[in-house]
Amino acid sequence: MTSNQNELSRFWVVRLNSKISPVDDFESSQYKRYGIRPVLVDANTPQDIIPQVAESDAILVVSTALPGEVVESLSRCRIISRLGIGTDKIDVEMARRMGILVTNVPGCFAEEMADHTMGFILALARKLPQMSRAMVEGAWSRSRGQAVQNRRLSSCTLGLVGFGDSARLVARRARVFGLRILATRRHLDNFSQGAEDLGVKIVDLDTLLAESDFVSLHLPLNQETYHLLDAAAIQKMKPGAFLINAARGAIMDEYALAEALRDGRLGGAGLDTFEHIDPFSGVEIPPDHPLLHLENVILTPHVAALSVEGMREVSEKGIENVATVLNGRWPRAERIVNSGVIPRFPLTA
């Protein structure tokens, strides 16, 4: 063990989500690499979390929400390391005010999310869930009646709402299938070599919704994107189009989507994230939600990001963020979520 490892072993490091996302052998090896001895905690409410993290020096978190009251209770914490990408469950502004770095691992699951999105596109386009049920039920005639309405993918348009890492990887995959690809983003006038290289046309959101046979969301959740696809936006979608969301559930209005699907306004949906269903709650009973009762919807329980390779990458880089800060150094700039934070304990380059 190096001198730095000896020093890190004295810090109180809490690793949340110990039950729903248990520490595996690879993650354990990364703690040993730095001499970190994490305290494993499973708690989901502020009153349960606060007593176990208030005196911690660092926190690693997978999916537990860390609202303002939790962050404000952290008397000496230096870093909250998100083992993933999205930080909408963390009060990042409160952390900034308290001098606590919030870090993540950008791009860590982009390949997996692109694969999952393409899986949704293919399954929806070929009506695979309906065809599977038809086989089980022996409903050959019904299946042919449904399948004859399928569209050839190379005649369709894919619209990407957001054009970050995962969207670019989806575009690369979709291009092979011959799809025409549109994308929209916050700054429409900025030149994007990536879009041009992939044959992607940048358009405004209304144009994308009106022309796309498949609309896929690739945005973080924040005040600007909450219910971006509300009832009015869904009404602007091309009749019979499919909506895909492996980003964040609250970017769309789930109940407006369910109504559009039930009325036949849209052709179907592939959803991995939800606003009103929490796969991380620890309660494993069938939820009461209208989307669960529609046969043209494919649902997965927030697993689009998961793979052996993705989990190893996020463990390696997320723990590296903690070790770097506890060693008194700044982590990589692209991994700092609350850029401009003045750390409560000085850091060097």
- Domain borders along the chain are 3-108+308-335, 110-299
Domain covering 3-108+308-335 in this structure, CATH number: 3.40.50.720
* pLDDT tier for residue 287 given thresholds of 50, 70 and 90: confident
248 given a catalytic annotation = yes
Of 152, 187, 224, 284, the catalytic one is 284
Q: Which of 213-232 are b and which e, b meaning 16 or more Cβ less than 10 Å from the residue's Cβ?
A: bbbbbbbebeeebeebbeee
Higher pLDDT: 286 or 157? It is 157
284 given a catalytic annotation = yes
Average pLDDT, the chain: 94
> What is the predicted pLDDT for the residue at 19?
92
Asked if 188 and 161 count as a contact pair (C-beta separation under 8 A), the reply is: no
* C-alpha dihedral (18, 31, 105, 118), degrees to nearest 10: -60
| CA–CA dist 13, 104 (Å, integer) | 16
> What is the predicted pLDDT for the residue at 6?
58
69 given a catalytic annotation = no
> What is the predicted pLDDT for the residue at 40?
98
Token digits of residue 267: 């052709």
| CA–CA dist 232, 257 (Å, integer) | 11
Of 248, 254, 320, 335, the catalytic one is 248
Give residue-wise pLDDT tens across range 305-327: 999 999 999 999 999 999 999 99
Of 78, 82, 168, 302, the catalytic one is 302
| CA–CA dist 308, 311 (Å, integer) | 5
Q: Is the pLDDT of residue 229 over 80?
A: yes
Give residue-wise pLDDT tens across range 47-87: 999 999 999 999 999 999 999 999 999 999 999 999 999 99
Q: Is the pLDDT of residue 1 over 70?
A: no
Class of domain 110-299: alpha beta
| CA–CA dist 5, 141 (Å, integer) | 67
Give residue-wise pLDDT tens across range 336-345: 999 999 999 9
Same CATH fold, 110-299 and 3-108+308-335? Answer: yes
Give residue-wise pLDDT tens across range 230-285: 999 999 999 999 999 999 999 999 999 999 999 999 999 999 999 999 988 878 88
